[in-house]
Amino acid sequence: MITHLSGSLARLNPDGPSADVDVQGVRYEVLVPLFLWPELAALMEGADQDDPSTWPPVSLHTIYHATANLPVPVLVGFLRRPERDFFRK
């Protein structure tokens, strides 16, 4: 199980809403709750998607999640552990 990702915030996708987190060259697509969007967008200010040197560092507490309706597992990410713990309940 993947419980935490630390790397660089490479991209935000508002259609997801999801974030791409680059961890030493491996990119993870992580679904994020809408209430985190303003914080993540603030981190991305001034970053260039095409220039990894501008990507801000990010750490996400994650849940590896799958349901009967969505059998493909997804990662759901949170900036703080209590948010993740609340989501689990």
pLDDT at residue 68, rounded to an integer: 83
Average pLDDT over residues 6-21: 94
Q: Give the C-alpha separation, 58 to 70, whole Å.
A: 27
* Distance from C-alpha of 11 to C-alpha of 7, rounded to nearest angstrom: 12
What are the residue ranges spanned by the domains of the chain? Answer: 4-88
The model's pLDDT over 35-56, given as tens digits with 9 standing for 90+, comes to 999 999 999 999 998 999 999 9
4-88 falls under which CATH superfamily?
Answer: Nucleic acid-binding proteins (2.40.50.140)
pLDDT band at 67, cuts 50/70/90?
Answer: confident
pTM confidence score: 0.87
48: phi then psi, degrees, rounded to nearest 5: -110, 120
Q: What's the average model confidence in pLDDT over 48-73?
A: 91
Is residue 60 pLDDT above 80, yes or no? yes
Q: Determine the pLDDT at residue 28.
A: 96
